[in-house]
Structure 1
Amino acid sequence: MDVTSMIMGASIASIAWIAFFPWAKLKRLKELDEGEKGITPR
Structure 2
Amino acid sequence: MDISSMIMGASIASIAWIAFYPWAQLRRLRAIDARNAAPDATSD
Tell me the TM-score normalized by structure 2. Answer: 0.87
1:1-42 per-position Cα deviation (integer Å, ceiling 9, x unaligned):
100000000000000000000000000000000000123324
* Structure 1 vs Structure 2 CA RMSD: 0.9
Tell me the TM-score normalized by structure 1. Answer: 0.91
Which 4+ runs in 1 deviate beyond 2 A? none
What is the rounded CA distance, in whole Å, between the counterparts of 2:26 and 2:19 in structure 1?
A: 12
Unaligned ranges ≥5, structure 2:
none
Q: Quick check: which one's helix share is greater?
A: 2
Partner of 2:11 in structure 1? 11
Indicate the SS of the match to 1:40: helix
Confirm whether residue 26 of structure 1 aligns to residue 26 of structure 2.
yes
